[in-house]
Structure formats: C-alpha cells, structure tokens
Structure 1
C-alpha cells in the first residue's frame, strides 16, 4: 500500500525568493495562501495579465511584485522556489523543465508528478500552525480536515504555548532534563486519564 513519504517543512518566505508564473485564479490562490501565512514573503509574479484581485494583493503586500510579460529563463535567476500556476499545460511543463535545469524547487499546480513540494492546507491558532497533506491525492479532503481542526483546536492554545515558552526559558539543567520536565507539564494535554480541571 502506498504511503505518504513527504518530509514536512516550514519555509521562512521572508528569507527566500519565490516566483509564481501565472496571474489568473490559480496564481491568485497560491499568492494569497503564501501572504496570509507569511506576510513578508518575497514573491514575484510573471504573467501576460493579472486578475484585479491579484493587483490589489500586490498593493496590500509590498513584497509582492507583478511583472507583465511572458515567462523566460531569466525569471528563475536568484529564485529559491517556483510555482507554475497557469492553465497552459505546455507552459507549465516548460517552467518545470527550466526550473529543474536551474536546480530550483518547483510546484506545478494540479500536477503532482511535477511537484518537488506541495502547498498544504493550513490550520493556525496563534503560534501553532499545522500543515495537512494528502500526498497530492485529494486537496478537498485536506480542506475538510482543515475545517474540522480549526474548530476543534481551542483559541486558548496559543496562551498555553506562550506560557510554556516562558517556562522553557527558565528551566535549569541539560537538554534531556528540560525535555523531561516539559513532557511532565504537558501530559495533561494528551492523557485521557487526566481529570478535567475546573
């Protein structure tokens, strides 16, 4: 049976350069997902035309640059990640070929076999951020799980995280001792035998 062997990572997009090829609905969706999660993301969008909503997004987020032109190899210079987000399969394949030749990681929208990475569905509660992947099998299931988790995880969890961060900074001892103490403090979060504290 096939398993999901993806290795999850969280990119600091304010330190990377991202190229999005395509200014339509898919390009808008990808850019919007990135800036909602990383408002200081450095994104260049190359396209012959742009949806008005994408133009508005670029005005709202100063690190989103729109360049009205056809894609060319030079657009990949200095880029760390590329997203091909056009409705032209031949152009998407061309972008993929050029990215692979330049050793730049690429995601070709709706084409899992041409993706080095996926953009998962994101659940966020303050500092807690969960990414959901179905290994490219069903983005719809990922979106539904996102809805369930968004409602199930309490908003107060961020307060717990902040307090645990303060405690972690004050703990004495080596790494193993700190981990043991933090595990002891957080048992209440996962132990079904723990009685509810009122």
Structure 2
C-alpha cells in the first residue's frame, strides 16, 4: 500500500479487524521511510520530510502512527500485520515506465511504490494473491510523469474542467487573529 501519512493503511487495518480477509499489508514508502525503518530497527524516529517524485507521500512524521500504535500495541503486532519497503525516485520512475511498456498501464508514482512493495513481498510467495492500490489518477500528478510518457496521460473530462477553472486564492497572514478575523468576515 503506498504510504505517506498512513491513513490508507490504518483504514485497511480497521477493515481487516472487521473481517476483510487480508493476511498482511506492505507499508510501501518513498525516501520518507520512517515506518519501514521502524519495522527494521524497532525505533520510531520522525524526521524532516524529503521531497520526492511521489510528493503526496512526502511525510517524515506520519500523524497516523499514533493510530497504528493503538491498533498494534506491540512491535510483534506491527510485524505480524505488515512489512515495510521503501523505494528511490530512480526506481519509481524506472518501474513506472516499465509497467507502461509491459502492460500498457500508466500508474502514478504513488501507485508504482505500492506495486513495488507488493512485488518485493511476493518474490518468495509465488502462490499468494496480492493487490496493490493506486491512490490517484496519473493526470493528478502529470508533472511527475516522465517526459516520454506525457502523451499517454489521458486527463478525465471532470479533471480537465476543474483545471480550466480560474484559481482563486486569498493571501493571508499565518497569524491566528488575522485568520479569525477573515473567518468572521465571511459570516
């Protein structure tokens, strides 16, 4: 499962608890590999985020880790529920292209990380059935898709209409009182 803030993995653990037949999850990350490192070392060490091509997963201190600890109170619970895997930008982009060339499927970089995690875990289990999650349409991250695959990105009509709309933003201070005054003026 592509993982940054670990919300999808947390939801998956709840689904498993409710009866969804899942044997194990793969916490697949980019260079922001805090949870895979925890699964290797038993030490959870949040750190500043690192920018990657799978930018929606650039989280160095996942806020859902506390929820994971609630669901999985011991380290053994963690290792029974999931395996960790992390992948470089180079590997992500290389496999994104290979996946498209071999199967005519264009994934976004986040989904590629999920795919890589699944492949890594499935190597020793040829009879097992696995599913990887694609959490976004590649058009959402079109600027992250390699140049030679740009033409393959089909932008859905609804997204295209959204992208054509005028962008509206209100610059404001990070000061709480200024924000509060802005909200009160909306009444």
TM-score (norm 1): 0.27
Higher normalized helix content (fraction of residues): 2
Higher normalized strand content (fraction of residues): 1
TM-score (norm 2): 0.28
Higher relative contact order (CA 8 A, sep 6+): 2
